[in-house]
Structure 1
Amino acid sequence: MNKTDFDIIPDRDSIGSQQREIGFVATHNDSPQLLTTEQVDRWNADGYLGPLDVYDSGAISEIREYFDQLLAETFAEGKDSYSISSAHLKHAPVWDLLTNERTVSFVADLLGENVIGWGSHFFCKMPGDGKRVDWHQDCSYWPLTPTKAVTVWLAIDDADAENGCMEVFAGSHKHGLIDFKASDSNAGNVLDQTVEHPEQYGTHRLTPLRAGQISIHSDLLLHGSSPNVSDRRRCGLTLRYCPADVHAYLGWNQKGVVVRGVADPAEWPGAPRPS
């Protein structure tokens, strides 16, 4: 499998045929490094945590300038603003964002000291593009077991209600795998599935972030976002992590990076930093 193959999401039958343990695993950490014990408790209750400060204004400006260049190159290739996926396997600056020590320390407070970074995908809503992300759980797309993976959402631009910030149903991560139906991407959904009546599973929250801040959410949390109705871009970089004891099917372990601690090289051989 080459690097570009990871841009393709496995079909539901491929994921559904794998033996997976599905259920939220609570964090027990009495001495977190960066988080407080109250934040850890909130994580267990909500399946979401944020905002958390990672990059100052100068650093995120440099990151944004890099993304601007990457996006221009992507458009020149005839691709859209949502197509920059598995970017850490292709672009060294994204690999550096995935392995950022402060980001990883937040994640390690929730997942433990042996952490794998395995995913990176830009979700960039251009002004007025009409695209939305319907309600979904990340775990329905990922051939990983058990369901202990998390997503870090790094705000490249300021994200708010007007330009389509992420929305969550806090507490929905406690319901296991929630039934969903197929969704037509031509109807404006960036993804291909949607959960109906999500309000029965948790409490709705908007999750605005300033550029340079992150949020973290469980792979079982129901989340989505509305279209960007503003004249401002809304770009976020999703960085995916899991503990080293998680097993990846379908060759997905080949894109993992050991970002903290150690891992069995037979399970997670370690993707190198691209040149």
Structure 2
Amino acid sequence: MSTTAAGQYKIVPDQGELDSIERDLTFYNSTVKDPKVLTKMQVGAFNRDGFVRPVPIYSPAEIAGIRAYFDDLLQRVIAAGGDSYSISSAHLKYGKVWDILTEPRIVAVVKDILGENVVGWGSHFFCKMPHDGKTVAWHQDSSYWPLTPTKALTVWLAIDDADVENAAMRFIRGSHHFGHMTFRNSNPAEHNVLNQTIENPEEYGDPVDNCLRAGECSLHSDLLLHGSEANNSDRRRCALTLRYAAADVVAHLGWNGKGVLVAGKDPTGLWANNPRPKDD
């Protein structure tokens, strides 16, 4: 099954279900020749390195408003028994998150990589509280996503400043060119937010700290090896991960039901186009 009893999509699908799907786990270079926001050099860097950053999106006043909204949402979720990592597929429930997923300034940057036809399908707050002890082990997003082919990316929107001290995300430059990597199940001692670990990441390239100011974002390929350490600082490190795919990508396990057509057309007609939720 791909959803929980409460109707929310699982953050981590069942491995057996994923293994039963024939997926094309090959990196596809961006073919956009005339980007509107990114430069041609940045598009080339995405193809070469697997990521682009930093990309400014929101002003300090705008991101302060988003942060205040998230602070209130987090309090409500914790009061209901959740935690700082459990706000997933948020655009299907919260209108203000749907607004961020469809924000024209973000969508324009995504189009510069994926092309004119784009679906937004994921939104997950990754909020590392001070001294919470949680890591995100080295992994590839494509290992978790029942999508084919892997023409998909993540926009990592910094809600708080992210730096080395409060456990900014880290990339392995160029690792998306190695295809799908072997992973093992994480052990409890790792305190991993997810459940997969890829060993010896430096074998695949150089590590890069993804330091961002609040309101900036990065974009990375679903095949790029990435992770983050535990936040041992006294400062929170919160980000909203927004997931996008070219609209001709096929989603299995019912994940097409999470879609919002954010640009162009859906040539397959398989993706849902969820309207803005009324909640908020």
Shared topology, TM-score over 0.5?
Answer: yes
Distance change >3 Å, CA 265–CA 145, structure 1 → 2? closer
* Structure 1 equivalent of residue 24 of structure 2: 21
* Structure 2 equivalent of residue 133 of structure 1: 136
**1:73-222 alignment runs, 5 A limit:** 73-185=76-188, 187-222=190-225
The reply to whether residue 56 of structure 1 matches residue 59 of structure 2 is: yes
* Structure 2 equivalent of residue 268 of structure 1: 271
The reply to whether residue 249 of structure 1 matches residue 252 of structure 2 is: yes
Q: Quote the offset at 1:203 in angstroms.
A: 1.2
Q: Residues 185 and 191 of structure 1 are in contact (CA less than 8 Å); yes or no, is this contact kept in structure 2? A: no
Runs ≥4 in structure 1, deviation > 4 angstroms?
none
Q: Residues 156 and 212 of structure 1 are in contact (CA less than 8 Å); yes or no, is this contact kept in structure 2? A: yes
RMSD of Structure 2 on Structure 1 (CA): 1.3
Structure 2 distance, partners of 1:247, 1:212, is 31
Structure 1 distance, partners of 2:257, 2:121, is 8
Structure 2: segments with no counterpart, 5+ residues: none
Q: Deviations over 1:121-143 (max 9, x none)?
A: 00000000011100000000000
Structure 2 distance, partners of 1:15, 1:267, is 19
Structure 2 distance, partners of 1:12, 1:25, is 24
Structure 1 distance, partners of 2:222, 2:268, is 24
Letter in 1 for 2:231: N
Q: Quote the offset at 1:79 in angstroms.
A: 1.2
Structure 1 distance, partners of 2:238, 2:22, is 34
Q: Quote the offset at 1:232 in angstroms.
A: 0.6
Structure 1 distance, partners of 2:81, 2:33, is 50
Equivalent in 233, 236, 239 of residue 236 of structure 2? 233
Q: Deviations over 1:23-74 (max 9, x none)?
A: 1000122210001011111111000110000000000000000000000001
Q: Residues 247 and 266 of structure 2 are in contact (CA less than 8 Å); yes or no, is this contact kept in structure 1? A: yes
What is the SS of the residue equivalent to 1:127? coil
Equivalent in 5, 8, 12 of residue 5 of structure 1? 8
Q: Quote the offset at 1:269 in angstroms.
A: 2.6
Structure 2 distance, partners of 1:245, 1:265, is 6
Q: Quote the offset at 1:8 in angstroms.
A: 4.5
Q: Quote the offset at 1:16 in angstroms.
A: 1.1
Q: Residues 136 and 224 of structure 1 are in contact (CA less than 8 Å); yes or no, is this contact kept in structure 2? A: yes
* Structure 1 equivalent of residue 49 of structure 2: 46
Q: Quote the offset at 1:184 in angstroms.
A: 2.6
Structure 1: segments with no counterpart, 5+ residues: none
How many aligned residue pairs are there?
275
Q: Quote the offset at 1:210 in angstroms.
A: 0.2
Q: Residues 160 and 237 of structure 2 are in contact (CA less than 8 Å); yes or no, is this contact kept in structure 1? A: yes
